[in-house]
Amino acid sequence: MNISQWPIEERPREKLLAQGAATLSDAELLAIFLGSGSRGQTAVDLGRQLLKQGGGLRALLVRAEPLPRVRGLGAAKSCRLQAVVEVARRCGAAELKRNDTLRTPLDSAEFLRTRMSGYPYEVFAVVFLDNRHRVIAFEELFRGTIDGTAVHPREVVRACLRHNAAAVILAHNHPSGVAEPSESDRAITGELREALNLVGVRILDHFVVGTGKPVSLAQRGWL
């Protein structure tokens, strides 16, 4: 049965107009963006398949890899959903602007969580700050495999000099979702601290991003 044959109050678009977007299920919301289904399935059915294969709505929105392959998801529908995903990522990340100030560890943790969760591989990133802790830039410097990534202190020093940074906040993600810092995480933090001390750049913190709240090495007393 096509959605047009459903009772009016059950159709996603009409339901949204009458009752508001908050009343729609995740599959119904996706159906609005998909616009239509395919032979033998409605847009809501297609939305349910995407949610099932993608691991839920949040996993779809934060994923850094292509959308799952689902029957009925052609190029046009895929483009629409990828645009939605990117809009959600940009809004959720609350992009830091130059001269914004990171006043608390919570500010930094939330920004990094929204920017770096959901990657299927490890990413090492740096927030560059001036001497008043105002943001100069955010960069993902290294990318690796699901098992880790190689971090080169020389390249981090070079990036700090390029941005004329006085301080930095380091961050990397654990694709497993477990944000507990490893011994190698602590070791590379020590190496970077020694390298950056030589050029007068302070490390304010190093966050490990996984599922849930990022873990701060500074709060653990490891900086």
- pLDDT bin (cut points 50, 70, 90) of residue 6 is confident
pLDDT beyond 90 at 119? no
| Nearest-angstrom CA–CA distance, 104 and 11 | 45
Chain mean pLDDT for the chain: 85
Q: Where are the domains of the chain?
A: 3-93, 105-216
Instruction: Considering only residues 47 and 115, tell me which one the structure prediction assigns the higher pLDDT.
Output: 47
CATH superfamily of 105-216: Cytidine Deaminase, domain 2 (3.40.140.10)
Mean pLDDT value of segment 32-37: 86
- Helix pair 43-54, 26-34: axis angle to 10 deg: 120
* pLDDT score at 106: 82
Strand residues in the chain grouped as ranges (E): 123-129, 135-143, 167-173, 202-209, 215-216
pLDDT tens, residue by residue, 184-203 = 999 999 999 999 999 999 99
pLDDT beyond 80 at 114? no
Which structure tokens are listed for 116? 């770096």
pLDDT tens, residue by residue, 67-101 = 777 888 888 888 888 887 777 666 655 555 555 66
pLDDT beyond 90 at 36? no
Cβ-contact 121, 146 below 8 angstroms = yes
Distances (CA, A) of 164 to 20, 125, 172, 216: 48, 17, 22, 24
* pLDDT score at 147: 60
Contacts of 79 (CB under 8 A, 6+ apart): none
- Reading across the β-sheet that carries 167-173, which strands appear in turn? 135-143, 123-129, 167-173, 202-209, 215-216
Indicate whether this model's pTM tops 0.75. no
